[in-house]
Amino acid sequence: MAEKSGLFVISLGGSVLVPSGVDVGFLRGFRKLIVKLSGKGFRFVVVCGGGRVCRDYQRAAGEVVGLRKDDLDWIGVASTRLNAELLRVALHDVAYREVINNPGRDVDFREKVLVAAGWKPGWSTDYVSAFLARKFGVGTIVNLTNKDFVYDRNPDEHRDAKPLSKISWDEFRKMFGSEWSPGLNVPFDPVASRFAHESGIGVVVVGKNLMNLESFLLGKKFKGTVIG
């Protein structure tokens, strides 16, 4: 399933990069893998989510004052930009000089990596990933999350939840609904799912194991869920 152009779009969940504090071990390993593959001709667009940072700040603000949906979204956007700056700095020698906060902006990047973050209310980073995938003609988004698969039920609540190796967009969207809300924690957000579905873009959920990610990128056998 490797992209013929050698360009991959990765949606990097904030819960992977910053599960409670910054996961320096993951960040170091991710850098090593990206630099290694970029030396073999691979290029990447990496979109960073907010994850725990986003939810902690949203919850804290909500304990002080009543919040509008846009307020929650802007906190989320800011958290993704902080995480993205962290990643850009970690990849400074192979990355474009700045984080892209507006996916509609024309960027002629010639570096190996372009790091992007959240844009505005109503746009999750999954949505930004899907938008950039269509913009750059990439047919599959690689989704790094804290779960190795999409499950038929929430595995945090149901011990007998079954991992799915493949699921259609119709089935996936029926399972997770169609509404977006700030801080929503699903494998791929509903609005982004509709956009990807209508654009003919697939998603592969590969968890956070970097050896597994490398296997997928190299077209080898991997563990995860193919959506599309």
pLDDT value, residue 142: 98
**pLDDT tens profile 5-17:** 689 999 999 999 9
- Spatial separation of the C-alpha atoms in residues 33 and 48, rounded to whole Å: 17
Of the pLDDT bands very low, low, confident and very high (cuts 50, 70, 90), residue 52 is confident
Q: Is 49 a member of any domain?
A: yes
Q: Are 129 and 14 within 8 A, CB to CB?
A: no
User: DSSP letter string over 10-67?
Assistant: EEE-HHHH-SSS--HHHHHHHHHHHHHHHTTT-EEEEEE--HHHHHHHHHHHHTTS--
pLDDT value, residue 68: 87
The CATH number linked to 193 is: 3.40.1160.10
Q: Is 2 a member of any domain?
A: no
pLDDT value, residue 55: 86
Decide if pLDDT at 114 tops 80.
Answer: yes
What's the number of domains the chain is made of? 1
- Show the beta-strand stretches assigned E in 119-169: 140-144, 150-151, 163-164, 166-167
What mean pLDDT comes out for the span 172-178? Answer: 85
> Which structural domain, as residue segments, surrounds residue 145?
7-227
Average pLDDT in the chain = 92
Q: Is 202 a member of any domain?
A: yes
